[in-house]
Amino acid sequence: MRPGRTPAELPRNDWACLVIPDDEPRSRRHRPFRLFLGVLLLGVLASAVVLLGPGLLDSVRSGGGVLPVSSECTVETPGGTVGLDRDEAKLVTTAVALAARGLAAPDTAGIDEAVVQQLADGPIDDAGPSLSCRGSAAADLSVEQITAGGLTPRAERVRAEMAGVFGDQSLGGFAPGGVGQGHGGDSTHYDGRAIDVFFRPVSEENRRDGWILAHWLVAHAADLDIQYVIFDDRFWSAHLARGRWHDYDAPAPGNEILRHLDHVHVDVLGGGTG
């Protein structure tokens, strides 16, 4: 072996010929091996970034540290992004909703207080989405027909579950026998699969109340077979696995109703192939 040649430059079959004299200092003996381990580690990390892609980058907290890649839900707080599992998200959104009504709320002692505060008060500068949950659209649901109340059984369950947590609400978008006008041509309202929950007039306080409901719906989406939640120029979809909120492109003329500024729209999956 030529003098000065490092282990990294050796062909694979040359490793067996590498001999370090016994009288060489210990630090020099281990230097080639440490170099090899460093290169190997960098290779593993590079492979992980390629394989995990955006999912790995999304897991980095803005305040430092790393979230588990498996976090089903996240909450954006002033101190950074906090990960929650689905049960924690359901618990904290229910607690916030009940507390807002002045009712006894379940214990959230095991959840970061910053999460509770954020979901209760919303962003400091402006109302908007704070909680996101990964979407998951069940593919084995049966097709349901409109019941006498104007909703399918799945949509009726959403209405009943909302009433149990939020009490009496101003609802629309459905009627006994169904609705036949007032919405876009392919609207799920015509199938009895959609409910509008009104927060009028449009104000900062009503927007924050609307986001409390929107977060609760997203946290419970998997249990209630919810497909879409639309509010305040934003939408969430069960069909988008990453579960982020996206800008909602309202049709013309883009008024308060069409932009969903004055109401939360929620609809359920249709089942079958639809």
Looking at the fold, whether 148 and 81 belong to one and the same domain comes out as no
Q: Is 130 a member of any domain?
A: no
Looking at the fold, whether 44 and 81 belong to one and the same domain comes out as no
What's residue 272's pLDDT? Answer: 87
- The greatest distance separating any two alpha carbons of the chain, rounded to the nearest whole angstrom, comes to 94
Amino acid letter for position 113: E
Q: Answer whether 0.85 is exceeded by the pTM.
A: no
Share of the chain above pLDDT 70, in %: 74
**Residue 44 or residue 182, greater confidence:** 182
pLDDT over 80 (residue 34): no
Contact 175, 159 (CB under 8 A): no
Q: What's the domain range around 108?
A: 73-121
Looking at the fold, whether 146 and 211 belong to one and the same domain comes out as yes
Q: Is 213 a member of any domain?
A: yes
What's residue 72's pLDDT? Answer: 95
Residue 224 and residue 267: Cα distance in Å, rounded? 10
Question: Which of the four pLDDT bands, split at 50, 70 and 90, describes residue 18?
Answer: very low
Looking at the fold, whether 263 and 186 belong to one and the same domain comes out as yes
Mean pLDDT across 153-178: 97
Q: Is 127 a member of any domain?
A: no
What's residue 241's pLDDT? Answer: 87
Mean pLDDT across 195-207: 97
Of 129, 94, 55, 126, which is closest to residue 219 (Cα–Cα)?
94
The sign one gets for the Cα dihedral 102, 108, 114, 119 is: negative
Looking at the fold, whether 145 and 117 belong to one and the same domain comes out as no
Q: Is 116 a member of any domain?
A: yes
What's residue 121's pLDDT? Answer: 95
Looking at the fold, whether 151 and 259 belong to one and the same domain comes out as yes
User: Burial code of 124-142, b = ≥16 C-beta within 10 A, e = fewer?
Assistant: eeebbbbbbbbbebeeeee
Looking at the fold, whether 171 and 215 belong to one and the same domain comes out as yes
Contact 114, 77 (CB under 8 A): yes
Average confidence score pLDDT of the chain:
82
What's residue 36's pLDDT? Answer: 54
Question: Which of the four pLDDT bands, split at 50, 70 and 90, describes residue 61?
Answer: very low
Pairing of strands 226-231, 263-268: antiparallel
Looking at the fold, whether 159 and 211 belong to one and the same domain comes out as yes
Mean pLDDT across 104-120: 97
Looking at the fold, whether 163 and 40 belong to one and the same domain comes out as no
Contact 128, 248 (CB under 8 A): no
**Residue 38 or residue 88, greater confidence:** 88
The β-bridge partners of 131 are 75
Q: Which residues contact 230 (CB under 8 A, 6 or more apart)?
A: 236, 248, 260, 264, 265, 266
**Residue 48 or residue 257, greater confidence:** 257
Mean pLDDT across 192-210: 97
Contact 270, 206 (CB under 8 A): no
Q: Is 61 a member of any domain?
A: no
**Residue 138 or residue 42, greater confidence:** 138
Q: Is 129 a member of any domain?
A: no
What's residue 138's pLDDT? Answer: 87
Q: Cα dist. 17→10, 27, 37, 38 in Å?
A: 10, 20, 19, 22
Q: How many helices (H) and strands (E) does the chain have?
A: 7, 9
Question: Which of the four pLDDT bands, split at 50, 70 and 90, describes residue 188?
Answer: very high
What's residue 273's pLDDT? Answer: 67
Q: What is the count of structural domains for the chain?
A: 3
Looking at the fold, whether 96 and 147 belong to one and the same domain comes out as no
pLDDT over 90 (residue 144): yes
Q: Is 178 a member of any domain?
A: yes
Token pair for 101: 């009504």
Cis amide bond preceding 78, omega within 30: no
Looking at the fold, whether 158 and 234 belong to one and the same domain comes out as yes
Question: Which of the four pLDDT bands, split at 50, 70 and 90, describes residue 139?
Answer: confident
Looking at the fold, whether 159 and 262 belong to one and the same domain comes out as yes
Residue 212 and residue 171: Cα distance in Å, rounded? 16
What's residue 49's pLDDT? Answer: 38
Of 220, 127, 130, 126, which is closest to residue 166 (Cα–Cα)?
220
Of 90, 116, 119, 94, which is closest to residue 105 (Cα–Cα)?
94
Q: Is 1 a member of any domain?
A: no
